[in-house]
């Protein structure tokens, strides 16, 4: 359950930060940094991957602890 919460938090944080980043640059009329945007998209994709493999990751963590 905690693994799913972490995955959803990663995805939610990425969406919110990317939206705020785009809004800031729209109002300031400056170009968007593609590398910075790619970072938030990458974190969103990591969250999706963790959400898909949540059961396996939770099992791996419980074996390690």
Q: Tokens for 9, please give them.
A: 């938090």
Tell me the domain boundaries of the chain.
2-64
| C-alpha to C-alpha distance for 41 and 57, rounded to whole angstroms | 21
Is there a contact between 47 and 11 (Cβ–Cβ < 8 Å)? yes
Contact yes or no for 44/12 (Cβ under 8 A): no
Residue 2: band (very low, low, confident or very high) from pLDDT cuts 50, 70, 90:
confident
40: left (phi over 0), alpha (psi -120 to 50) or beta: alpha
pLDDT in tens, 7-52: 899 899 999 998 888 888 888 888 878 888 888 899 899 889 988 9
């Amino acid at each position: 359950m905690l693994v799913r919460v972490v995955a959803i938090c990663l995805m939610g944080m990425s969406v919110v930060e990317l939206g705020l980043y785009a809004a800031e640059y729209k109002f300031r009329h400056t170009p968007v940094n593609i590398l910075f945007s790619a970072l938030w998209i990458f974190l969103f994709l990591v969250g999706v991957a963790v959400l898909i493999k949540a059961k396996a990751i939770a099992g791996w963590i419980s074996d390690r602890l």
